[in-house]
Amino acid sequence: MKVTVNMQARALRRKGAATLRVLAALLAYPDAGLRAHLPEMSALLAADRALGRARLGEVQALMRWLAAGDPVDAEVAYVELFDRGRATSLHLFEHVHGDSRDRGPAMIDLGQTYARAGLLLKPDQLPDYLPVVLEFLSTQPAREARDFLDEIAHLVNGIFGALQLRASRYASVAGALLDMAGRQAQATPPPCEPDIDESWAEPAAFEGCPAPGQVRPGQPQPVRIVRNTDPSPQGAPQ
């Protein structure tokens, strides 16, 4: 799935919007088109001043690595990192609903949220893909964008922890999103992932809800962007 890098959008005039668009692009597949925009993206991050100096340095180090390294190696590393495990998946509903039947309605609900804001996705774009979410937020008013980031912060923090465990430079992007949400990046051990064959195994018929995201057969589940498991009041950081 490809995120279009369009740095001339009117929405980018709001502080933080350009940073969200750059972070969205950095989480997309590092093809030649993305690499061609890296100098412009680095300049936009510096001019936007939405990130602290240390975090900005980390993100720019990722961009230098993408620019200087072998393109094939970067692309292979990206696929291995984001497409071969649930802990680092950039599809947010993978962390919320797993393979349960709630995922489809949640996708529709989020897609309708985009449509009401005037954003129509391409046929091959899934609404829960984090770069798509960030592109959407880059078009929203500052307060709404921050509130949305705060709502998904515990999911981003889980991805941040999984990326740090892998010593990945991409952890800087997740950390930057947490900074923008006003949260502290706290690496936590990701849950154990099932063997790849087990995760793709077909569930036995009529056995209820074997997939993550459903508690009991027949139990209605709310359609939300996240399921916050933080026990602290309003999900505030400790």
Query: Which range of residues forms the domain containing residue 179?
Result: 11-225
* pLDDT in 10s for each residue of the chain, 238 residues: 344 444 444 445 678 999 999 999 999 999 999 999 999 999 999 999 999 999 999 999 999 999 999 999 999 999 999 988 789 999 988 877 666 576 667 777 787 888 888 888 887 788 889 999 999 999 999 999 999 999 999 999 999 999 999 999 999 999 999 999 999 887 666 555 544 444 444 444 434 333 444 333 343 333 345 444 454 444 444 3
Kindly give, in sequence order, each residue whose CB lies less than 8 Å from that of residue 150, ignoring residues fewer than 6 positions away: 181, 182, 183, 235
Q: Structural domain tally of the chain?
A: 1
DSSP assignments along the chain, one per residue: ------TT-GGGGSTTHHHHHHHHHHTS---HHHHHTHHHHHHHHHHH--S-HHHHHHHHHHHHHHHHS-HHHHHHHHHHHHSS-STT-SBHHHHHTTTSTTHHHHHHHHHHHHHHTT----TT--TTBHHHHHHHHTTS-HHHHHHHHHHTHHHHHHHHHHHHHTT-TTHHHHHHHHHHTT------PPPPPPPHHHHTPPPPTT----STT--STT------S------SGGG---
pLDDT at position 114, please?
Answer: 85
Whole-prediction pTM value? 0.74
Q: Please check whether residue 238 lies inside any domain of the structure.
A: no
**What pLDDT is attached to residue 238?**
37
Cβ atoms < 10 Å from Cβ of 184: 12
> Is the residue at 154 inside a domain?
yes
CATH of residue 188's domain is 1.10.3480
| Domain contains 1 | no
d(CA 62, CA 152): 23
Does some domain include residue 206? Answer: yes
Residue 85 lies in a domain: yes
Residue 88 lies in a domain: yes
Amino acid at 154: H
Residue 190 pLDDT: 57
